[in-house]
Amino acid sequence: MTLSLGYPKQQGNMACRLHKSLYGLRQASRQWFCKFSTALKHYVFHQSTSDYSLFSNGSANTLVILLVYVDDIILAGPNTALLHEVQSHLANTFRLKVLGDMKYFLGLEIARSSQGIMLTQRKYTLQLLEDTGYLACKPQPLPMDPGLKLNSSDGDLLSDVTLYRRLIGRLMYLTISHPDITYDVHKLSQFMSQPRSSHLHVVYHLIQYLKGSPGQGLMFSSSSSLRLSAFSDADWGGCLETRRSTTDYMVFLGDSLISWKSKKQATVSRSSAEAEYRALASLASELLWLRQLLKVFDIQVPSVMVFSDNISAIALATNPTSHERSKHVDIDVHFIREHVTSGFLLLNHVPSAKQLADCLTKPVAGPRLRDHMAKLGVLNIYLPT
């Protein structure tokens, strides 16, 4: 007699069909989410098509938002009685452990006050410093030397690449509350296949920078408006080896920073205008997604103010005429013109000195970095007053 998943098999051509998914199987997480989402839909919750882990019910003062990550759940809404009602319904279906008001979630620390919500990763940062032996190190004033040019040939190859990759992975998670290190982590992650000693030295320098502000985080103001605005920028040919540009943008909901990105472009741009134009197209995709996502929160976004420091890119996006310099640009990049024409995107020029996304394209000097961080709502509530 042979065994299949712990059950006796009476006949050779028979197999066991499980009515419940066993913990540890590949399909277990999918089966759990299917069961959970079915229970929510039965309770008249609507699943968002922009983020399938986000559910909503009601509107305005009766709005209830539910966000699930594996088996961790966040409930939010203006009506406390409705939240307790949903909690009771879930307790009747699943075994729950209610932790009360959200203060800690997946390494994120949440502090609330009358001024708004503060999001930090202080405990996670201190743990990183302790694990690397830099808890008592001297802090660095900048995340990266502005004059440093990283490449894939300087320094000796590391004998153990897992250390470098593990540190980069932990630093990537820290970018949730540290937009000031986003560019540096993005740059260092490009050498994960064959990291060298020079790259590891920059990683340790970045960890020393975190030592100076482990409690730094993002402030989401309670008095902020609900209007979207964004800054778009690009570093033309910034990669010395591939000569590809870097797309960078920041999106604000009122005064609160809610989305940002620093990523190398897929193709080589023949001009700075083309690089900036591609960055605008990437930002347009993000804004379209955010518009759909904000509808779940009963927030309507009729238009978005977009700021760019490149006049040629703005002209290329607003002028439907095909120029010689833009004939080679793929048609999918030109979709930004449709949204400019419809009035959803309002393009405006901003001087380079006031371009907030500039800190995502290159290392920025100390005074300018601190000025940008203040405008982005990056604060340290643990500093002595």
Q: Are 216 and 178 in contact (CB under 8 A)?
A: yes
Look at 5-19, 72-86, 232-246, 362-376 and tell me which has the smallest mean pLDDT: 5-19
Rg (CA), the chain: 24
Report pLDDT for 4. 39
What is the dihedral sign for C-alpha 174, 175, 178, 184? positive
Q: CA-CA distance, 379 to 360, in Å (whole number)?
A: 18
Q: Is the pLDDT of residue 5 over 60?
A: no
User: What's at 315, amino acid-wise?
Assistant: A
Tokens of residue 251, six digits: 């999106």
pLDDT band of 3, cuts 50, 70, 90: very low
Q: Is the pLDDT of residue 128 over 50?
A: yes
Q: Is the pLDDT of residue 6 over 50?
A: no
Among residues 280, 270, 284, 271, the alpha carbon closest in space to that of 247 is found at 280
- pTM across the whole model: 0.85
Q: CA-CA distance, 379 to 219, in Å (whole number)?
A: 7
Region 191-207: mean pLDDT is: 92
**316/20: higher pLDDT:** 316
- Between the alpha carbon of residue 153 and those of residues 82, 191, 366, the distances in Å are 59, 10, 28
Secondary structure element (H or E) that encloses residue 234, with its range? strand 228-235
- What is the percent of the chain with per-residue pLDDT over 70, rounded to a whole number? 90
Among residues 272, 368, 348, the alpha carbon closest in space to that of 308 is found at 348
Residue 178 phi, psi dihedral angles, 5° rounding: -125, 80
Region 358-362: mean pLDDT is: 81
Q: Are 77 and 65 in contact (CB under 8 A)?
A: yes
Q: CA-CA distance, 328 to 306, in Å (whole number)?
A: 25
pLDDT tens for 19-44 read: 666 666 777 778 888 888 888 888 88
Torsion of CA 198, 158, 267, 275, to 10 degrees: -20
pLDDT band of 274, cuts 50, 70, 90: confident
pLDDT band of 8, cuts 50, 70, 90: low
Report the range out of 182-196, 264-278, 346-360 with the highest average pLDDT: 182-196
Q: CA-CA distance, 191 to 186, in Å (whole number)?
A: 10
Region 72-96: mean pLDDT is: 89
Q: Is the pLDDT of residue 327 over 90?
A: no
Q: Hunting for tokens 């909901």 — which residue is that?
A: 253
**Paired sense of beta strands 104-105 and 108-113, if any:** antiparallel
Q: CA-CA distance, 18 to 258, in Å (whole number)?
A: 43
Region 73-96: mean pLDDT is: 89
pLDDT band of 320, cuts 50, 70, 90: low
DSSP 8-state secondary structure symbol assigned to residue 350: -
DSSP 8-state secondary structure symbol assigned to residue 357: G
Neighbours of 171 (CB within 10 A): 21
pLDDT tens for 221-235 read: 888 888 999 999 998
Looking at domain 224-350, what is its CATH homologous superfamily? Answer: Ribonuclease H-like superfamily/Ribonuclease H (3.30.420.10)
Instruction: Give every CB contact of residue 382 below 8 A, 6+ residues apart in sequence.
Output: 122, 214, 215
In the chain, domain spans: 3-100, 120-211, 224-350
Give how far the C-alpha of residue 1 lies from the chain's centroid of Cα atoms, to the nearest Å: 53
Mean pLDDT of the chain: 86
Q: Is the pLDDT of residue 50 over 50?
A: yes
pLDDT band of 1, cuts 50, 70, 90: very low
pLDDT band of 236, cuts 50, 70, 90: confident
Q: CA-CA distance, 333 to 296, in Å (whole number)?
A: 28
Report pLDDT for 109. 92
Q: Is the pLDDT of residue 289 over 80?
A: yes
Q: Hunting for tokens 């882990």 — which residue is that?
A: 53
CA angle (379, 384, 385) in 5-degree steps? 85
- 91 HSE (CA, 13 A, CB side): 8
What is the DSSP annotation of 311-336? HHHHHHHH--SPPGGGTTS-GGGGHH
pLDDT tens for 136-181 read: 889 998 888 888 888 888 888 998 899 999 999 999 999 999 998 9
Report pLDDT for 323. 60
Tokens of residue 385, six digits: 């007053």
Report pLDDT for 97. 86
Q: CA-CA distance, 187 to 172, in Å (whole number)?
A: 11
Q: CA-CA distance, 170 to 125, in Å (whole number)?
A: 9
Region 89-109: mean pLDDT is: 87
pLDDT band of 9, cuts 50, 70, 90: low
